[in-house]
């Protein structure tokens, strides 16, 4: 039994390490892609268009890149091709963008009417019923008060342009803090989204500030309710305490998991054999 518990403990540690490693890998992947993007963007700004294309092309083929990262890279590559006069390559790259997101809106801030006209014309050819005046309007419902450490639900609805909304983000922070925490809302259909926010525990009441942002598939904001500088507020009562309770500490959870796994393993070992199985009815006869 002692040996079984040791094996299970080792298994639990290995599982923990694997999860940790996976999370670290994901973060490292995102950082690596961001480095490529930053380099490509800088080259583009410096009018090194061929070098920008070369730097960003790997991102457009990298499966680790998020959709937003891939779209950002593709747009810069397409713009670089266009500026270099290679309209064929620009068109092919813009088509890849529209394959990923038919509602994509250029993030290009140059204001070049030639670029926008080229992209809009391509969109008209590829996307039925394309409306150049795209965008989205949001409305939302949220409680005016809540309790710290308890879930608050926010309902968001895109009243216009819901087909262009690929992501709804709710940004929250405790009043007095500078940085926001971002929580993704889940789509509920019919242009509706729902976010479940769990404010940080606190032994004292505090005010939760928030704003809501709709993003297109490229990650570009296309609509907002409030804004980072002018957030909305929810008054929170004290709840949860500031410290992690003893039962929430990792070593307590880990120890309990090992003990539970050991007991489960022993139960399974004890129940195996010619006696009834664990699945009802325990025993069956093939051809009575």
Partner 1 sequence: MRSCSVAVVLALASCDGAITLEIAGDRPIPRTLSSICVGIADTEAIGGHLGQLYQLTGELATLPQTLRVDPGRASRAYLWVRGDRGGVPVTYATTTTSFDGDVRIALDRCPLGRGGAPSPMGDAVGPASARLVTSHGSGNIVVALGVEATIIDAAGGKATAVAGPALPAGTIVAAIAVDVDGDCDDDVIVASDAEAPIVWRRDHRNFTVGAPLDSGPQAALAAADIDHDGDLDLVTGIGSTLSLWYNDGAGRFTLDVDDLESNGRVSSVRALALGDVDVDGNADLIVGQSGGPLTAWLGGPNGLFVENDGVVPPVPLAVAALSLADADGDVDLDPDLVVAVRDAPMRLYIDREGQLEDQSFVRLPQPAPIASAIAVASWDAGRCEPDALAAGSESLALHGEPDAFTVEAMLGAANDVVMIDLDEDGDLDAVLATPEGVRWLAR
User: Is residue 128 close enough to count as binding partner 1 by CB under 8 A?
Assistant: yes
| C-alpha–C-alpha distance, residues 106 and 76, integer Å | 10
Out of 100, 115, 134, 183, the only residue in the binding site for partner 1 (CB under 8 A) is 100
User: Is residue 88 close enough to count as binding partner 1 by CB under 8 A?
Assistant: no
Q: Which of residues 215-234 bind partner 1 (CB under 8 A)?
A: 217
Q: What is the DSSP letter of 214?
A: E
Copy the structure tokens of residue 267: 């139960």
Q: How far is the CB of 221 from partner 1 (least distance, A)?
A: 16
Beta bridge partners of 158: 138
**Closer to partner 1 by Cβ: residue 18 or 45:** 18
| C-alpha–C-alpha distance, residues 213 and 228, integer Å | 10
**Closer to partner 1 by Cβ: residue 121 or 163:** 163
Task: Give the pairing of strands 145-147 and 232-237.
Answer: parallel
Question: Which string of x and - marks every residue 25-64 that binds partner 1 (by CB under 8 A)?
Answer: -----------------------------------xxxxx
Q: For tokens 């002692």, name the residue.
A: 2
Out of 67, 116, 160, 181, the only residue in the binding site for partner 1 (CB under 8 A) is 67
User: Is residue 78 close enough to count as binding partner 1 by CB under 8 A?
Assistant: no
Q: Are 216 and 102 in contact (CB under 8 A)?
A: no
Out of 50, 186, 235, 263, the only residue in the binding site for partner 1 (CB under 8 A) is 186
User: Is residue 285 close enough to count as binding partner 1 by CB under 8 A?
Assistant: yes
Residue partners of 147: CB distance under 8 A and separation at least 6: 236, 237, 238, 239
Q: Which stretch binds partner 1 (CB under 8 A): 82-90, 138-146, 237-245, 277-285?
A: 277-285
DSSP string, 47-108: T-HHHHHHHHHHHHH-TTS-HHHHHHHHHHHHHHHHHTT-HHHHHHHHHHHHHH-TT-----
Closest CA to 226 of 236, 243, 214, 244: 214
Q: How far is the CB of 285 from partner 1 (least distance, A)?
A: 4
| C-alpha–C-alpha distance, residues 18 and 31, integer Å | 20
Q: How far is the CB of 246 from partner 1 (least distance, A)?
A: 26
User: Is residue 273 close enough to count as binding partner 1 by CB under 8 A?
Assistant: yes
Copy the structure tokens of residue 83: 């500026």
Closest CA to 217 of 98, 124, 133: 98
Q: How far is the CB of 228 from partner 1 (least distance, A)?
A: 23
- How far is the CA of 61 from the CAs of 33, 163, 222, in angstroms? 11, 26, 26
Out of 85, 111, 113, 288, the only residue in the binding site for partner 1 (CB under 8 A) is 288
Q: Which stretch binds partner 1 (CB under 8 A): 2-10, 42-50, 95-103, 113-121?
A: 95-103
User: Is residue 287 close enough to count as binding partner 1 by CB under 8 A?
Assistant: yes
Q: Are 221 and 228 in contact (CB under 8 A)?
A: no
Residues that bind partner 1 (CB under 8 A): 22, 60-64, 66-67, 70, 96, 98-102, 128, 162-163, 165-167, 184, 186-191, 217, 264, 268-269, 271-280, 282-288
């Amino acid at each position: 039994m002692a040996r079984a518990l040791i094996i299970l403990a080792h298994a639990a540690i290995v599982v923990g390490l694997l999860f940790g490693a996976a999370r670290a890998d994901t973060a490292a992947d995102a950082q690596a892609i961001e480095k490529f993007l930053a380099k490509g963007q800088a080259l583009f700004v410096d009018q090194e268009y061929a070098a920008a294309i070369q730097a960003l092309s790997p991102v457009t083929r990298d499966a680790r890149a998020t959709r937003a990262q891939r779209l950002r890279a593709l747009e810069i590559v397409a713009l670089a091709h266009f500026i270099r006069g290679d309209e064929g390559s620009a068109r092919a790259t813009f088509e890849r963008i529209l394959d990923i997101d038919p509602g994509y809106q250029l993030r290009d801030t140059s204001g070049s009417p030639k670029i926008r006209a080229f992209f809009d014309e391509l969109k008209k050819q590829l996307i039925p019923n394309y409306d150049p005046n795209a965008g989205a309007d949001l409305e939302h419902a949220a409680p005016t008060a809540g309790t710290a450490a308890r879930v608050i639900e926010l309902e968001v609805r895109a009243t216009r342009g819901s087909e262009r909304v690929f992501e709804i983000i709710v940004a929250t922070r405790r009043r007095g803090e500078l940085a926001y925490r971002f929580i993704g809302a889940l789509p509920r259909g019919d242009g509706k989204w729902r976010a479940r926010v769990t404010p940080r525990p606190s032994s004292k009441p505090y005010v939760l500030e928030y704003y809501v942002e709709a993003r297109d598939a490229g990650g570009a904001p296309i609509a907002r309710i409030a804004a980072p500088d002018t957030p909305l507020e929810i008054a929170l009562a004290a709840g949860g305490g500031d410290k992690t309770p003893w039962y929430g500490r990792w070593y307590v959870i880990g120890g309990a998991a090992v003990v539970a796994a050991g007991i489960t393993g022993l139960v399974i070992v004890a129940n195996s054999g010619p006696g009834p199985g664990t699945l009802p009815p325990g025993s069956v006869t093939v051809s009575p």
